[in-house]
Amino acid sequence: MKKTLLLGIAGILMAAITITACKKEDNNNNGNPSGGLDRQPMLTNYADNYILPAYTAMVEDLAALKTGSDAFVAAPDESKLIALRTAWQKAYITWQKVDLLEFGPAENVSLRMYINTYPVTVSKLNSNISSGSYDLEQFGNKDAQGFPAIDYLLNGLAANNADVVNYYTADAQAGARKQYLQAVVNKMLDKVTTVRNEWNSYRNTFVGATGTDVNSGISRMVNSYVLYYERYFRSGKIGLPVGAMTGTAKPDITEAYYTPQLANTLANTAMQSVIAFYEGRSFIGAQGSASMKSYLSTIGTKGDNGELMADLVTKELNEVSTALAAINTPLKDAVQNNRTAVLNTYEQIQQVVPLLKVDMVSAFGISITYVDNDGD
């Protein structure tokens, strides 16, 4: 009897092994440690309360920029130059709230590349103006357009307003320069309008992709967010200009180089956007509902000291924000003259990277998909 039982058990075991062996391997789908947590409200909140309003605001600001540049080009003078600069600054600040959304329709048109590749390559821009033959769609022209090109065209040509206006009136290239300014502005408006329109239909795709695979809404959004934080915020705005890896400051690669004080405003706005987005706030800053933070909090991941990871991220992001805001000389000067403060800020920015890229991403059951250089 005992023997029979044993044999029976062996048989069942064998059967179980067989079942296991024939189960289709599913190695490529990440396990979903957060099963049972509904991701749809979070995706809905991001789409409807942040992303769609953000693109609408961006289109509005660029339309205003176009109005300003059309007016300036029609009859260039100092007051129209000042008005145009104001419109440009407002749009550039809004861009800091949009830049972290480079996925889906934005990614599909390489939006960031056309809007904000800096530093601008002045020689290329000038050669485009003098030749009059250029295609701003071409990859080779990415550093001769966008906000940085306008920065140069409005702020980099001369030290005082009258001399700048002169480049659009008396200068031999005045006509070509006016055309170029308009072409750059039109291209930006065109690109963002395309993305805004595509989001109208992509919205449902995004909100409906509730899984955790590489094409899910959460994977795309979080990858875009973490990539932005790491590469465009940390390295682009701070790390590369201060030379965190090289020990040598490169002030000429700061954002808004020809409008020094604006670089700080842009960086601070970007940081506020990083925090607001994490917390699921609306585009205008209203308290959020379902967010990366609340989702992480529900999962309950804890840091080494037992603190909720969701809260730890907020705490550390706020510390970055404080440190960054305390840098009160223009970034292009601070990276040279106030290196300790900038490097310390960089260090604080860097400390959040693993929290987002490792802890949060693995808690969400997704993976980082944006390795550019695959080492072959």
Partner 1 sequence: MKNKLLLTAGLVAVVFASCTKGDSSVPAGENVKVPYVGLNANTNYFEIFKGADNKTSVDFSGQTIRINMLKEMDAYMKTGLTASVSAEKLVNMFENKNAAFNNAALNAATDKTIISKTAQSFPAVDAETERNRFKTYFTSLAAASQSRSQTAAAGQAGLLDGKYLVNEKGFEFGQFVQKGLMGAMMLDQISNIYFGGEKQNADNEAIVSGKNYTQLEHHWDEAYGYLTSNEMYPKKDPADASKWLESYLGSYVRQVSTSVGGENPQDIYVAFLKGRAAIVNKDMPMRDQQIAYLRANLEKAIAIIAVSYLNKTKTATTDGAKFHSLSEGYGFVYSLRYGYNAKINAAKSNELLSILDGKTNGFWSLTNADIDNVRDQIAAAFGIDKNVVVNH
**Which positions touch partner 1 (CB under 8 A)?**
3-4, 7-8, 10-12, 14-15, 18-19, 21-22, 24-29, 102, 107-110, 135, 137-140, 213-215, 231, 367, 369-374, 376
Q: H-type helices in the chain, by residue range? A: 2-22, 40-45, 52-74, 78-98, 105-108, 111-115, 122-131, 146-151, 161-166, 174-208, 217-227, 240-242, 260-278, 292-299, 309-325, 331-337, 339-354, 361-363
Pick the closer one to partner 1 by CB: 10 or 326. 10
Pick the closer one to partner 1 by CB: 137 or 307. 137
CB of 8 to partner 1, least distance (A): 5
Pick the closer one to partner 1 by CB: 4 or 340. 4
Per-residue burial over 190-200, b if 16 or more Cβ lie within 10 Å, else e, is: ebbebbbebbe
Pick the closer one to partner 1 by CB: 84 or 209. 209
DSSP 8-state code for residue 251:
G
Backbone Cα Rg of the chain = 25
CB of 172 to partner 1, least distance (A): 25
Rounded distance, CA 212 to CA 124, Å? 43
CB of 310 to partner 1, least distance (A): 26
CB of 11 to partner 1, least distance (A): 3
Which SS3 state, helix, strand or coil, does residue 26 take? coil
CB of 267 to partner 1, least distance (A): 18
Structure tokens at 360: 């949060």
Question: Which residue in the block uniquely carries the two structure tokens 């590349």?
Answer: 113
Pick the closer one to partner 1 by CB: 26 or 304. 26
Structure tokens at 180: 């170029």
CB of 375 to partner 1, least distance (A): 9
Pick the closer one to partner 1 by CB: 110 or 298. 110
